[in-house]
Every structure is written in C-alpha cells, then in structure tokens.
Amino acid sequence: MSFQIVGTGRAHPEFVLNNDMLSQIVDTSDEWIVARTGINTRYVSTHETITELSVKAADNALSKAGIGAKDLDLILCATMKGDYACPSLACLVQKEIGADCPAVDLNAACSGFLYALDQADAYIASGKVETVLIIGAELMTRHLDWTDRSTCVLFGDGAGAVVVRKGHGLKSIKITAKGDDELLVIGNTFCPSPYGKQPKLDPHFRMKGGEVFKFAVTSVLRDVKDVMKMAGVEVKDVKMLIPHQANQRVFQVAKEKLGFSDEQLAMGIDHYGNTSSASIPLLLDELIEEGKLKPGDIIVMSAFGGGLTTGACVIEL
C-alpha cells in the first residue's frame, strides 16, 4: 500500500472542564460519568477557533516530519464543521501555514480521520501526489445542548494532524457507510428565503446512545478483524489498538473479544473525552511523544460515528 506516517502533531484548547463542574450545570456526577464513559476531564474551547487549533497541530506535524508547507501536495481536513461553511477549514489551514497545494474538507463524523487516510492512500497510489497533510479537527462543544446530560458530558475539543508520504507503512485499510438520520444527528441551520420554507432542524448533537453503543461494538469487532486479516497480522504482532475514543466501555468490550491485552489498548478518553475525528490523531501524537510508540511498531486504528460511518486500518510506523 501507498504511504508512511512521517510526522504527527496535536493541539487542544487551554480550558479543562472536569466532571464536578458539569454536575453544577446538569443533574450528573463524577461517579456516573467515569463509570459509564471513562471520562474525567475534557478540553473546551473558550476562545480558540477550530482553524487556530488545526494550524497549530499542522505546524507541529510538519516540523516533526522535517518538511515545509511548500512540500505538501494536498491537505485533507476531516471535520463536520469548520469556522465557515466556506472557505473550508482546509483552505484556511493552507493559507495560515503557507502551503500552495489543493486543500479540501471531508465529513465522515468520527470516522473522518480514517476516511482521510483512505483518500490519501488513493491519491498517493495513483501517483498524483506524494505528500499529504491530514487533519482531524472538531470543536464538538459548539454543537452541544448543555441542558442535556446524556450528551453534554461526552465531548471535548481538539485537533490532531499527520503528514503521510509515499512509502510502505500502510498495510490495509477499509471504510464503510450506512446512511442513517435517526441514531446520531446534528442539524444544519439555514437563512430564511422569500421563495420557500427552509427545513427547521435542531442544531444540537442528538444521539440514541444505547443503539450507537451496539453499532460501535459490532463495527469495531468486524473492522478490526477485517483489516488485520487483510494485512496478515495477528494480535501478538500489534503494538497498540487505537480505537476512536467515544466510550471506554466500547473499547474494553472490543479489546476482550479481540484478545488484546490492557497494554495494547490506547486510552485517551479520560483526559480528552470524545473529540470526534480528532480523537485518533490526537492520541497517536501523544503516544509517539511519550515514547509508547516507535518506528517499526504495528498499530491498528478503528473509528465509528455519525453517518453512520466506520473505518479501520493497519499501519507500520
């Protein structure tokens, strides 16, 4: 397959929101949130824009890759909503970091980073480009109903970036979609028009948690098995499984059923919450920085989310 990860970066807001603070605005408790989700704290934007966080993560990844913005052939931003509907987040990042390559956003909700990796693979394999900057960025707290305890405790904000270059690190990748507007929804808002009625959609994040939970467990089990088989790797060959950080219970079940050990399971939900498409690249950069992942290690990444979408891959770092 087509690429190697050559640099990673991350950025998050300064403000840390803990569970006790949330229990002052909704009927919840630290005990409930920790037991049901694994989340202790999350970063929440008070002033940082999604563009600022993405640029910071991108600069970080470029400097670790040892390349300049002008070396990039393509920028892909996985996000549900940038600061503007137009220009795209990717175009604003391109401007701020001083790149001159094509740049585009893609929306696959929490699976966006895996979708972007898949697109980078296709572009690089076709010979069209050699170096791609991929960013997963989301300010989920912009879309929350802060009176709804079943959702407002789950999310945080952040951006993660990777630079990938033509190489042989990617061993297998798959993405899936199953259109659904019942289980997990964030409505768009529209300007009034004198010529017709606009749909009035709820702009808040709404989720049928129990059903999404079942979908998440089923898809992680299926996708991880599939990509490991495609890559010809076994559990003992894998240094770490990095699942989308949506709920600790989802990946504990997946870990046990797939036969991974505690040491092989990457965990960042405790301090990030669910950061949607940013969750995997944020954690990847952290694990590399902490020396827990090194060149040559084999990792499995698996994501699931709105759409409904899923994605998974096996990569040798």
Q: How many residues bind ligand ACO (CB under 6 A)?
A: 23
Residue 37 interacts with ligand ACO (CB under 6 A)?
Answer: yes
CB of 36 to ligand ACO, least distance (A): 5
Distance CA(144)–CA(152), nearest Å, equals: 6
Closer residue to ligand ACO, CB minimum distance, 110 or 116? 110
- The answer to whether 244 is a known catalytic residue is yes
Site for ligand ACO in 119-138 (CB under 6 A): none
Stretch that binds ligand ACO, among 48-56, 81-89, 205-213, 220-228 (CB under 6 A): 205-213
Q: Which of 276, 279, 302, 310 binds ligand ACO (CB under 6 A)?
A: 276
CB of 242 to ligand ACO, least distance (A): 15
- The answer to whether 188 is a known catalytic residue is no
Residue 114 interacts with ligand ACO (CB under 6 A)?
Answer: no
- The answer to whether 168 is a known catalytic residue is no
Residue 284 interacts with ligand ACO (CB under 6 A)?
Answer: no
Residue 36 interacts with ligand ACO (CB under 6 A)?
Answer: yes
Closer residue to ligand ACO, CB minimum distance, 27 or 263? 27
Q: Which member of 91, 247, 274, 313 is catalytic?
A: 274
Are the C-beta atoms of residues 136 and 280 closer than 8 Å to each other?
yes
Site track 93-112 with ligand ACO (rule: CB under 6 A), x = hit: ----------------xx--
Structure tokens belonging to residue 129: 């480009």
Q: Which member of 77, 91, 110, 313 is catalytic?
A: 110
Amino acid, single-letter form, for residue 211: E
CB of 252 to ligand ACO, least distance (A): 12
Note the residues at the interface with ligand ACO (CB under 6 A).
28, 32-33, 36-37, 109-110, 149-150, 153, 184, 209-210, 212-213, 216, 246-247, 250, 274, 276, 305-306
